[in-house]
């Protein structure tokens, strides 16, 4: 989730601009919850690539063990 489309109930401005203390607090909370390692930050394509990479590594490890 991003704060690009959120509107502040306190000042009626976009939260992304951080016009008031409520906007700034919410924007900080959204960015903290959606850090670089959160599940929401991974796209389906990135998840599929990660899964394929893990499968390839597992197959290579299995072949090396034989």
> Is pLDDT of 29 > 60?
yes
From CA 6, how far away is CA 34, in angstroms rounded?
15
Count of H-run helices and E-run strands, the chain:
2, 0
Domain that holds residue 21: 1-34
- Using a pLDDT cut of 70, give the percent of the chain over it: 82
Q: Residue 22's pLDDT is what?
A: 92
pLDDT, tens digit, for every residue of 41-65? 667 888 899 999 999 999 999 999 8
Do 55 and 29 have their domain in common? no
Do 6 and 28 have their domain in common? yes
Do 4 and 30 have their domain in common? yes
Model-level pTM? 0.47
């Amino acid at each position: 989730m991003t704060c690009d489309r959120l509107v502040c109930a306190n000042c009626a401005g976009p939260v992304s601009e951080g016009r008031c203390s409520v906007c700034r607090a919410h924007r900080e909370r959204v960015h903290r919850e959606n850090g670089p390692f959160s599940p929401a930050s991974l796209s389906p394509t990135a998840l599929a690539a990660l899964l394929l990479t893990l499968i390839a590594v597992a197959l290579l490890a299995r072949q090396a063990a034989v």
